[in-house]
Amino acid sequence: MHLHPLPEEHRDTYREFLSYAFRPEDGPDWDDNSLQDPDIYFPRGLYDVPPETPTGDLDASDLVTVCAFYDYEARVRGEFHPLPGISAVASPPEARRRGHIATMLDQLLVEFRESGRYLSALWPFKYEFYRRFGWATTNNHAHTSVPPEELTAVSPAASGEFVRLDADDWARLDAVYTESATEDLAVTRTEGWWRHRVLRGWDTDPYIYGWQRDGDLRGYLVYRVKGDWESRTMHVQELAGIDAEARQHLFRFLRDHDSQVDEVIVERAHEGTRLIDDLTDPRAATVEIKPGPMVRIVDVPTALEAVSFPADAEHSFVLDVSDDRCGWNDDTFRVSVSAGEASVESTADDPDATVEIGALSQLLVGARPAVELARTEYLTVHESSAVEALSAVFTERDVFLRERF
């Protein structure tokens, strides 16, 4: 079995795999109505061929499973780093439960490491499945459902203007997104990502409206309306404003649909969103907290040495890292942090702590604090001083990976 970049002539087979995996109600047959791929999308195929087989000699009939990755850059501890987002993992029914997905993921991590991509992320179909392969949850997200008339409590008097936008306005939208998406793991969005993912839909394209003042775009909404005359729901996939005033006017826009929809659902918002607190009747809204994407360190020494740490953290500790899939990570490392930088080297010294790769990934991006992880099976502290050192180095961050991929 060998993982290869997918040749263009194998795209039909690739899409057949994806169609049956993600839309099984359509059966094995498919219509080619797929979205155009953005510029950062790279499909891969695992072929039942010897590793030395040239790409030109590959046959689509040898494909056993496929995947792809979006070549993101994301903010990690205040600076941008490569964060490929794994997607489109699929295999046909006749090739399942033979370990092909595991083989493909292992080889994909090798590719990432060799190409200098030392972190990775994905959205799981099952969390326990990918947890076994070393990925761990980054952040939760909130779904808020509320009758539109209840948004009067958070809607200001009319000012500025609402404008209809489309994909050609992506640069204006991106300026608002860049200013408002200040959390760690926010990704840099390319034109292709905007045009072919954020502003497109698999079945129907969303509507895009912005709020501006004196021609200056300050916020935007990406949404769909679902249902019929009996009942309609407004689904907001993204609400972004550069400040509180802009966000309030976006809520005013939603409120003004009270004659058309029965409910507004703000999807995949930051877990810290507290819209419910500002409503006249908080019981009118329902907030669901759902788990979000997962993250994994690809290469421990490279990742730790690339990321910046608190400038006042001066610590040295020995970590025994457990990684069942990547042998280069399954080692004991001395981590020395000074002036915001880490140096990492393999060591035979006794460890101060033992950490599983998923937990270390959460520590690195700031998703969970060391004190909390030390109460789980994923982080075992052997020296009491290690908790203080890990807490000082791996400070908790405001983490929110909002993209769906």
Q: Which domains does the chain have, with CATH numbers?
A: 2-117 (3.40.630.30), 141-291 (3.40.630.30), 298-393 (3.30.1050.10)
Report the C-alpha gap between 75 and 184 in whole angstroms: 5
Q: Looking up tokens 């689509």, which residue turns up?
A: 60
Residue 375, C-beta contacts closer than 8 angstroms, at least 6 positions apart? none
Quick one: pLDDT at residue 25? Answer: 79
Mean pLDDT, each 10-residue run in order, the chain (405 residues):
94 91 75 78 96 90 96 98 97 91 97 98 96 97 97 97 98 98 98 96 92 98 95 97 97 97 97 92 96 98 98 97 98 98 98 98 98 97 94 98 96
Asked if 285 and 146 touch (Cβ cutoff 8 Å), the reply is yes
**pTM for this entry:** 0.94
* 370-381 confidence digits (pLDDT tens): 999 999 999 999
How far is the C-alpha of 116 from the C-alpha of 192, rounded, in Å?
23
Measure the CA dihedral 125/2/118/173, to 10°.
Answer: -60
Model pLDDT, residue 315:
97
Per-residue pLDDT at 86: 98
Strand duo 353-356 + 315-322: pairing: parallel
Instruction: Count CA atoms closer than 13 A to 221's CA, side-chain side.
Output: 26
What single-letter amino acid sits at 334?
Answer: R
Exposure class string for 115-129: b at 16+ Cβ within 10 A, else e = eebbbbbbbbeeeee
Q: Which residues contact 24 (CB under 8 A, 6 or more apart)?
A: none
Task: State which H helix or E strand residue 295 sits in.
Answer: strand 294-297
Q: Which residue, among 321, 372, 311, 378, has the nearest Cα to 344 in the 3D structure?
A: 321
If one counts every other C-beta atom within 10 angstroms of the C-beta of residue 177, the result is 21
pLDDT at residue 30, rounded to an integer: 59
